[in-house]
Amino acid sequence: MAISRHKLHRSFISSDRQVEGEGVIRMLLLSIAIAMPLVTLAYLKIHDMRLGYEMREIQDRIRREEELARALELERSRLSRPEVVQQWAQEAGFVPTKATNLVKRPFTPEDQRIAKLRPVPSG
């Protein structure tokens, strides 16, 4: 009979440990189930912040490129004349100089003769 009590006591202890182990496993699963959405939320928030910084850098780069493009366009429009303006300038008697400015051509002897024939209107 002493042996049977010992076996009974041993099986009772192992069943208590098994129930206690299941409780620990359940608590771990519960804590993981609670922590998982929080970890996911934290990961998404960090990812959102990182994307925000990258978007800000991209927007700054785009703004700088647009400013550079505007400055280049202004410089190009100032230096180059369209063909229509060039044609008008030639018809009006302007001649380009080395500084790419259009100036009136100098008086020729024929211009002086025409100026002598036409009186200057008094205003």
Greatest distance between any 2 Cα atoms in the chain: 152
User: What span, in angstroms and rounded, lies between the C-alpha atoms of 47 and 57?
Assistant: 15
Q: Is the pLDDT of residue 85 over 60?
A: yes
Beta strands in 6-98 (DSSP E): 94-96
Q: What pLDDT, in 10s, does the model give residues 19-69?
A: 677 888 889 999 999 999 999 999 999 999 999 999 999 999 999 999 998
Q: What is the pLDDT of residue 115?
A: 74
Residues facing residue 94 across a β-bridge: 104
Beta strand 102-104 pairing with 94-96: antiparallel
User: What span, in angstroms and rounded, lies between the C-alpha atoms of 83 and 81?
Assistant: 6
